[in-house]
Amino acid sequence: MIIISISVGVIFSVVTALGLIRLPDVYTRTHAASKSATLGVLGILTGTFLHFLLIEDHFNPQLIIAIAFLFITSPVSGHLIGRAAYMSGTELAKETVRDDMKILRKKTEDPK
């Protein structure tokens, strides 16, 4: 149980690092970072929580609070990084569909 959760966390942290290296632009990297990093850190925290609970007989509520906190904050951080990059940044190639988001960007660049 403990071994499984900690190894899952480590594997997904490695996947996050690989994704940050391999993926082409800011948005796809944000995908990797916001999803896999969350699950990686969650796995490691769950593993430590279970270790202290089962082996040391010590219930540690701070770890549960940290898990909940990560759950709440990671999608928001991914969204904010993506939005900031979009409002100031560039796109890569292979972009298929571009919708009305362009209008939003134009409005922020030259406010009337």
Partner 1 sequence: MSLQILLNFFLAGVWMFITDNFTPSGFAIGYLVGLLLVVMMRRFFSSRLYLYRIWAVISLFFLFLKELVLSSFAVFKLVIQPRLNIKPAIFELETELKQDWEITLLAALITLTPGTLVLGISDDQKKLYIHAIDFEDIEDAVSSIKNTFERAILEVSRS
- Residue 104, interface with partner 1 (CB under 8 A)? yes
Helix (H, G, I), strand (E, B) or coil at 24: coil
Query: Is the CB of residue 82 less than 8 Å from the CB of residue 27?
Result: yes
- Residue 15, interface with partner 1 (CB under 8 A)? yes
Q: In the numeric block, which tokens belong to residue 85?
A: 């990059």
**What is the spatial distance between Cα 72 and Cα 97, in angstroms, rounded to a whole number?**
30
Cβ 34 to partner 1 shortest distance, Å? 6
Query: Is the CB of residue 78 less than 8 Å from the CB of residue 30?
Result: yes
Binders in 37-96 for partner 1, by CB under 8 A: 38-39, 42, 71-72, 74-76, 78-79, 82-83, 86, 92, 94-96
Q: How many residues bind partner 1 (CB under 8 A)?
A: 39
| Closest by Cα among 27, 29, 49 to 37 | 29
Q: Which residues sit at the interface with partner 1, rule CB under 8 A?
A: 12, 15, 18-19, 22-25, 27-28, 30-32, 34-36, 38-39, 42, 71-72, 74-76, 78-79, 82-83, 86, 92, 94-101, 104
